[in-house]
Structure 1
Amino acid sequence: MVKKTVLSLVCTGALFAGNTEVEELRQQMAQLQQQLAQMQQHIATLEAQAPKESAVQEESLESMEKAPTTSVTTLLPDIALILNGGYTSRNIGNDKYADASIPGFVKSGDMEIPFNAKDGFNLNYAEVAMSSTVDPYLDASAIFHIHGDGEVEIEEAYFVTRALDYGFRFKAGKFKSAFGRVNEKHHHAWNFEDQELINNALFGPDGIGGEGAQLQWVAPTPLYLMAGFELFNGNPDQGFSAKESASTAVGYLKTSTDVGAATLLAGLSYAQGKSEVQNLDGSGHPIPDSFSNYGQTRVYGADLTLEYPLADYGQLIWQNEWMQRDKDIESMTQKQSGYYSELLYKIDENWATGVRYDDIYQNRTDNPLTSIDNLHRTSVKLEYKPFEFSRFRLQYNQDHSKTIDDQAKTIHEVMLNYTLELGAHGAHAF
């Protein structure tokens, strides 16, 4: 196209030029043709180099993708902060409540009250959670629990595998056991502001768990079926002996299936470890830090949950769990059983309500004063969630499970609590 343009201009000029001018135009045309040839050669050279440079750039990009990333951003784990607190009102004072007991389970003065301990305002805790992928094979998490008084504890710190074959998964460190339905969940994921009565009586406010290891297996079947085995250090706060590195073994089998529009979840759990029985002096009084007669403590559990979806993000959840502990002591085997049943109604995205009934119906111990059956509690709640990571909950308890000054006492309590979740918070256990 360039040649045609130049030739057209030259020819047009030649029609109007004289003989002298024709010769000059011929020289100019020859110069232009020489310049065009040089330009064409330069273009050909550039076109030949372009594919090589493109290949080098692509190879460089591939090398960058394969090279390990070392930027500061990728080295930081996901971090979340959870705040919980509120206001509590009871019909008894703080000292009396702290000195209460659960007959057959928790002695007077030994009760731990980690949440809503005071009559009035409470900052229950700030929880910092960190998690990250370590490499293609491992994830790691750590959860630091900061109590309202400033005390810090490592609630969980563990690693878990990502790519084991045949449906296996391994976890080790410090963590909560998957025993039962709610033991593994943290406070901010509970359906109510306080722990279920039988769970608290048997395992304490932290639930069963601690330093140990876990192996889980998901069966390759259309029906979800998961089996798990765990081994923890013994812990007297959970009803097991800690003497001579005594260990606690936990096993469970869990399944879920769809029943029409509803989802059914069920599980069987078992825990076993050595009993820790305190020695008595000649007058029948406990000898501090003196234990013997190590038999076995066995805990059986079963849970059943039915979840039914409703319109406008609504949902009905009926959750039930039963436990029994058989604990060997010198003179007998204590048998203690209880359950809870709760019905939750999620009205829409923002509002929910619920009712729960707790009952310890069997409490056979070697002491008639603590062999009190029918320790029970009734709870109702109203919950508002303006957004996904903020929640405000109003709850009322009528509690018949505790004694104060060796006398049965009905405790009425009202709790108004908030929970705020900030940062990259992972999904709660289903």
Structure 2
Amino acid sequence: MAKLLWLSIACATVLSANESELELLKQQMSALHEQMMQMQQKIAVLENTAKMQATNTSQDETLTSMVQNDQKTAQTTMLPDIAVILNGGYTSRSVSKDAYAAATIPGFVNDMEVPFNAKNGFNFNYAEVAMSSTVDPFLDASAIFHIDGSGGIEVEEAYFTTRALDYGFKAKAGKFKSAFGRVNEKHHHAWNFEDQELINYVLFGPEGLGGEGGQIQWVAPTPFYLMAGFELFDGNPEQGFSAKESATTGVGYLKMSQTLGKATVLAGLSYAQGKSEVQNLDLSGEPIANSYTDYGQTRIYGADLTVEYPLGAFSSLIWQNEWMQRDQDAESQTQKQAGFYSELLYRMDGNWASGIRYDDLYRNVAGAPDDLNRFSAKLEYKPFEFSRFRLQYNHDRSKAFDDERKTVHEVLLNYTLELGAHGAHAF
């Protein structure tokens, strides 16, 4: 019995000890588990911190890159597009340079000005530098500098145009060429032939109608293109308008374009008016240099029609026509003069083109001939978009030498090269 008692006591002691050790183990396991949880939490915090630092670094690098790119873009945007146009060639004419410069177009031009292909032999006609850029969200600006063969520099055009006027309006101000008619606004390198159409030359001179002024144009919300424009310029006696400070020349026009079947038709009506300024004559009837008298008004009417018919992917026929009449008040009468030209152009493919042109001054002042005309033919080759070589022949009956009409034969071989960011020409 005593043994059994001692055995029970020993078992209870052992069990009690085992329970104590188990409780201790449980406490130790619980503490270890809590430490592991704390360590995991610390690891998670460290990992999140590392990720946030990496993200911030990446964002900083991205932001820095964006700022640098924006700075580069801003610097690039501030730089204008620059283009250089070179034109020159070889001329063979049946009269000498001096005789040609002294020629007249009876009733229209007393002092010939020959800006291009002036002499027999090789001519470097000009280098033209054109610059254009966006100024801000509202304005664009352009400047064109003309450098002639002798190195003389002229600001041919310098103007700004609006970008964001409502209701189809657009404005321009500065020095620029008028949009009167079909070709007045175009520069020499964009002409269809190497020389100016006769009616444009005799009425507006080699510089064309334009100068310092302002322009407003409106495109109507019609299913076809319809544009109306109005311009004001300082007067210019070389264009028949008074150059007094109080005198201005007003120009208005209406232009439209419509597709008829495969053909594209462009048509326009133009009008210009300003105070007349007529060159004074001496007792022998010769013009007095820089001597003009104001008389009434000069009014110029114009109409143009162009039709383009495609023949293939790169070939087409273009028929272009323009007519003008000038009514100029003189001392005791209104002098009426008029003329036109008609051109037929054939674009054979992307490289070759040909064309013929007929000019005629059919109305003139009293006592002057009214059959001043010229026939021209051309062949041109464009190896690439911005290079062109052109061969042209003129049979010209519009000139007089020492008051005697004489037919002039001309052969012109010209090149035109365009370098840099040059925009497309208007059709």
TM range (shorter): 0.7 to 0.9
Residues 369-380 of structure 1 aligned to structure 2 (within 5 Å): 371-380=368-377
With the length of structure 2 as denominator, give the TM-score of the two structures.
0.87
Secondary structure, aligned partner of 1:417:
strand
Q: For residues 11-51 of structure 1, what are the alpha-carbon distances to aligned partners after superposition, in whole Å with 9 as ceiling and x for unaligned?
A: xxxxxxxxxxxxxxx9xx99999977754442243346666
State the shift of 1:243 in Å.
2.2
The answer to whether structure 1 residue 237 and structure 2 residue 212 are counterparts is no
User: In the alignment, which residue of structure 1 is the partner of 2:198?
Assistant: 197
Residues 132-143 of structure 1 aligned to structure 2 (within 5 Å): 132-143=133-144
Secondary structure, aligned partner of 1:364:
coil
Q: Could you tell me which of 375, 385, 388 is aligned with 1:388?
A: 385
Q: Unpaired segments of 5 or more residues in structure 1?
A: 1-25
**Bigger shift: residues 235-244 or 299-308:** 235-244
* Larger Cα-atom Rg: 2
User: In the alignment, which residue of structure 1 is the partner of 2:402?
Assistant: 405
Question: Is the CA contact 2:343–2:355 (under 8 Å) kept in the aligned structure 1?
Answer: yes
Residues 314-333 of structure 1 aligned to structure 2 (within 5 Å): 314-333=315-334
Q: Give the distance between the partners of 2:141 and 2:334, measured in 1 at CA.
A: 41
User: In the alignment, which residue of structure 2 is the partner of 1:87?
Assistant: 90
Q: Is the alpha carbon distance of 1:328 and 1:262 closer, same or farther for their aligned partners in structure 2, counting shifts above 3 Å?
A: same
Q: Give the distance between the partners of 1:284 and 1:348, measured in 2 at CA.
A: 53
Secondary structure, aligned partner of 1:111:
coil
Q: Give the distance between the partners of 1:52 and 1:135, measured in 2 at CA.
A: 34
User: Between Structure 1 and Structure 2, how many residues are aligned?
Assistant: 396
The answer to whether structure 1 residue 45 and structure 2 residue 49 are counterparts is yes
Question: Is the CA contact 2:234–2:245 (under 8 Å) kept in the aligned structure 1?
Answer: no
Q: Is the alpha carbon distance of 1:160 and 1:96 closer, same or farther for their aligned partners in structure 2, counting shifts above 3 Å?
A: same
Residues 226-375 of structure 1 aligned to structure 2 (within 5 Å): 226-280=227-281, 286=287, 288-365=289-366, 368=367, 371-375=368-372
Q: For residues 114-156 of structure 1, what are the alpha-carbon distances to aligned partners after superposition, in whole Å with 9 as ceiling and x for unaligned?
A: 0000011000000000000000000000000000011110000
User: In the alignment, which residue of structure 1 is the partner of 2:25?
Assistant: none
Q: Give the distance between the partners of 1:316 and 1:131, measured in 2 at CA.
A: 32
Q: For residues 214-243 of structure 1, what are the alpha-carbon distances to aligned partners after superposition, in whole Å with 9 as ceiling and x for unaligned?
A: 000000111110000000000011111112
Q: Could you tell me which of 109, 132, 138 is aligned with 1:106?
A: 109
Secondary structure, aligned partner of 1:387:
coil
Q: For residues 280-328 of structure 1, what are the alpha-carbon distances to aligned partners after superposition, in whole Å with 9 as ceiling and x for unaligned?
A: 5666665554433421100000000001112141011000000000000
Q: Is the alpha carbon distance of 1:278 and 1:195 closer, same or farther for their aligned partners in structure 2, counting shifts above 3 Å?
A: closer
**Bigger shift: residues 173-182 or 277-286:** 277-286
Q: Give the distance between the partners of 1:62 and 1:405, measured in 2 at CA.
A: 74
Q: For residues 152-178 of structure 1, what are the alpha-carbon distances to aligned partners after superposition, in whole Å with 9 as ceiling and x for unaligned?
A: 100000000000000000000000000
Q: For residues 365-391 of structure 1, what are the alpha-carbon distances to aligned partners after superposition, in whole Å with 9 as ceiling and x for unaligned?
A: 4xx2xx210100000000000000000
Secondary structure, aligned partner of 2:184:
coil
Q: Is the alpha carbon distance of 1:278 and 1:52 closer, same or farther for their aligned partners in structure 2, counting shifts above 3 Å?
A: closer
Secondary structure, aligned partner of 2:76:
helix
Secondary structure, aligned partner of 2:147:
strand
Tell me which amino acid in the other structure corresponds to 1:103.
P
Percent identity of equivalent pairs: 70
Q: Is the alpha carbon distance of 1:287 and 1:340 closer, same or farther for their aligned partners in structure 2, counting shifts above 3 Å?
A: closer
User: In the alignment, which residue of structure 1 is the partner of 2:419?
Assistant: 422
State the shift of 1:277 in Å.
2.4
Secondary structure, aligned partner of 1:243:
coil
Q: Is the alpha carbon distance of 1:260 and 1:405 closer, same or farther for their aligned partners in structure 2, counting shifts above 3 Å?
A: same
Tell me which amino acid in the other structure corresponds to 2:208.
G
Q: Is the alpha carbon distance of 1:310 and 1:332 closer, same or farther for their aligned partners in structure 2, counting shifts above 3 Å?
A: same
Tell me which amino acid in the other structure corresponds to 1:79.
I
User: In the alignment, which residue of structure 2 is the partner of 1:8?
Assistant: none
Q: Unpaired segments of 5 or more residues in structure 2?
A: 1-28
Q: Give the distance between the partners of 1:35 and 1:285, measured in 2 at CA.
A: 111
Q: Give the distance between the partners of 1:130 and 1:289, measured in 2 at CA.
A: 34
**Bigger shift: residues 290-299 or 248-257:** 290-299
